[in-house]
Amino acid sequence: MTFLKVFLMLAILGMASAYNNPYQSSCPDVEKISKAITEYFVRKNPTFAPGLLRMVFHDCAVRGCDASVLLDPTPSNNATEKTAVPNLTLNGYEVVNAVKAELERRCPGVVSCADVLALTSRDAIVAINGPWWYVPLGRKDGRISLASEAVKFLPSPRANISTLKKNFADIGLSLKDLVVLSGGHTIGIGHCNIIQNRLYNFTGKGDTDPKIEASYAKILKYKCPQRVGDLTTVAGMDSISPKVFDKEYFTTVSQRKGFFESDAALLDDYYTKSYLQSQANSNGATFANDFAASMTKLIQLGFGSQGEVRKTCGAVKSYY
Q: Give the residue numbers annotated as catalytic, written as ranges.
A: 58
Beta carbons within 10 angstroms of residue 283's beta carbon: 10
H or E element, residue 236: strand 234-236
Instruction: Determine whether the annotation assigns residue 66 to a binding site.
Output: yes
CA dihedral 113, 117, 119, 124 (to 10 degrees): 140
Phi, psi values for residue 189, rounded to 5°: -120, 160
List 308's β-bridge partners, or say none: 141
Rounded distance, CA 49 to CA 120, Å? 9
Asked whether the beta carbons of 84 and 151 are under 8 A apart, the reply is: yes
Q: Which of 311, 251, 245 is nearest to 276 (CA)?
A: 251
Rounded distance, CA 212 to CA 197, Å? 13
Instruction: Determine whether the annotation assigns residue 59 to a binding site.
Output: yes
Asked whether the beta carbons of 263 and 220 are under 8 A apart, the reply is: no
Instruction: Determine whether the annotation assigns residue 115 to a binding site.
Output: no
Instruction: Determine whether the annotation assigns residue 238 to a binding site.
Output: yes
Rounded distance, CA 52 to CA 61, Å? 14
Beta carbons within 10 angstroms of residue 18's beta carbon: 10
Instruction: Determine whether the annotation assigns residue 156 to a binding site.
Output: no
Rounded distance, CA 124 to CA 46, Å? 8
Rounded distance, CA 258 to CA 246, Å? 15
H or E element, residue 100: helix 93-106
Instruction: Determine whether the annotation assigns residue 186 to a binding site.
Output: yes
Instruction: Determine whether the annotation assigns residue 64 to a binding site.
Output: yes
Rounded distance, CA 38 to CA 134, Å? 16
Instruction: Determine whether the annotation assigns residue 62 to a binding site.
Output: yes
SS3 state at 191: strand
Instruction: Determine whether the annotation assigns residue 155 to a binding site.
Output: yes
Instruction: Determine whether the annotation assigns residue 138 to a binding site.
Output: no
Known binding-site positions? 59, 62, 64, 66, 68, 81, 155, 185-186, 238, 246
Known binding-site positions for Ca(2+)? 59, 62, 64, 66, 68, 81, 186, 238, 246
Known binding-site positions for heme b? 185
Known binding-site positions for substrate? 155
